[in-house]
Amino acid sequence: MAAAGAIVRFPLEHYTVLGFAEILTRLPRHWRLLRRLERELAGGRFDLALLIDYPGFNVRLAEAAHRQGVPVLYYIAPKYWASGAGRVARLARAVDRLAVILPFEQEFFARAGIATEFVGHPLLDRPSPPSRPAARAALGLRSGERLLALFPGSRPQEVTRLWPAFRDAASRLRSQGSCERVVVAAVGTASYPGSDGCELRRHDPATILAAADAALIKSGTATLEAALADVPMVVAYRLHWLTAWLARRLITVPWISLVNLIGRQPLVAELLQHEVNAERLATALAPLLDPAGVAACRQRDGFRLVRERLGSPGAAERVAGLAAELLA
């Protein structure tokens, strides 16, 4: 957005946080920002609020805009289908249009009376990844070498909680001969202690996925990136114990990974909390590192269905069209 000319007044990295327990330390900062934007809305500064994701803050901002008569277009809907069906009515009162990126969301939100449009997933608009031969050549892989890709997350708390188990699972797989190379999709200045035997590659996830035979991935958008790249995977996640305790009581969907939710079946294994240990991860990954094996082929068959359901490229253009309608 900054590259396209948007003025970034409050960089999101100063505010973003993941989890119920973790948000407590950031509440004062969020509250001050909300009060400031409410004053600006009341002053008639804005003609449209185009709110993107981040529901803990943005739903409150949508309500503030609605009170001032400012149209609200919400892009990337809150995941109320997972745990917050009772909060949909609140969203319906605050937004004028809702642009969703997952195929099953349109019916869910439309039932609540929200004008909802499925615009397709923005991942489909990313530049085409390198071909598999080009990606393997870029990583220096020899013919027949099997590559395991590790995606332990982008947030510091994710890396801290997941990396030790990811690292130890990769070590087991190398020692038992299931793979020859391990590449980590490292981010920023994050630390990966004990990474001997793993190659850290920063800022190049597309090449890593294009070259990989299988991947171990934290739950999130990266699972869809792997499905688009046709890479068999195991999905893992670990939360703060209090956040996990609360989540178990709130979440109503049968799976947490987007691949399984869009496929409407357990296409990939999901290992959570205490299950995220080297033994469980390595056991789940080993059969996927045989490209011609039953497990890998079964996942790839399912990924075709996921890709079909993600829609077509052009999400940003469709959202811009909705914004133009509201501004008119």
Give yes or no: residues 97 and 162 share one domain. Answer: no
The residues facing 233 across adjacent strands are: 215
Higher pLDDT, 46 or 241: 46
pLDDT reading at 247 higher than 70: no
With respect to residue 13, please indicate whether it lies within any of the assigned structural domains: no
pLDDT of residue 255: 82
Share of the chain above pLDDT 70, in %: 92
251-295 pLDDT per residue, tens: 767 788 999 999 999 999 999 999 999 999 999 999 999 999 999
The residues facing 217 across adjacent strands are: 151, 235
With respect to residue 14, please indicate whether it lies within any of the assigned structural domains: no
Give yes or no: residues 93 and 159 share one domain. Answer: no
Give yes or no: residues 181 and 302 share one domain. Answer: yes
**Cα 178 to Cα 194: distance, rounded to the nearest angstrom:** 20
Give yes or no: residues 289 and 261 share one domain. Answer: yes
With respect to residue 36, please indicate whether it lies within any of the assigned structural domains: yes
Give yes or no: residues 53 and 172 share one domain. Answer: no
**Cα 247 to Cα 253: distance, rounded to the nearest angstrom:** 11
pLDDT of residue 84: 67
Give yes or no: residues 96 and 143 share one domain. Answer: no
Q: Would you state the structure tokens that stand for residue 39, as one six-digit string?
A: 């004053």
Give yes or no: residues 235 and 285 share one domain. Answer: yes
pLDDT of residue 320: 96
Give yes or no: residues 149 and 102 share one domain. Answer: no
User: Order of strands, edge to edge, in the sheet holding 269-272?
Assistant: 199-202, 181-186, 147-151, 214-218, 233-237, 269-272
With respect to residue 126, please indicate whether it lies within any of the assigned structural domains: no
Here the CATH number for the domain that contains residue 224 is 3.40.50.2000
161-208 pLDDT per residue, tens: 999 999 999 999 999 999 999 999 999 888 999 999 999 999 889 999
Torsion angle (degrees, nearest 10) of CA 282, 286, 289, 294 = -140
Give yes or no: residues 226 and 86 share one domain. Answer: no
Give yes or no: residues 94 and 200 share one domain. Answer: no
Q: Would you state the structure tokens that stand for residue 49, as one six-digit string?
A: 């609020």
With respect to residue 2, please indicate whether it lies within any of the assigned structural domains: no
pLDDT of residue 24: 62
With respect to residue 9, please indicate whether it lies within any of the assigned structural domains: no
Tell me how many domains the chain contains. 2
Give yes or no: residues 87 and 196 share one domain. Answer: no
Which residue segment(s) compose the domain that 181 sits in? 132-309
Give yes or no: residues 155 and 285 share one domain. Answer: yes
With respect to residue 18, please indicate whether it lies within any of the assigned structural domains: no
105-123 pLDDT per residue, tens: 999 999 999 999 999 999 9
**Cα 82 to Cα 254: distance, rounded to the nearest angstrom:** 9
With respect to residue 205, please indicate whether it lies within any of the assigned structural domains: yes
Q: Would you state the structure tokens that stand for residue 93, as one six-digit string?
A: 């009162």
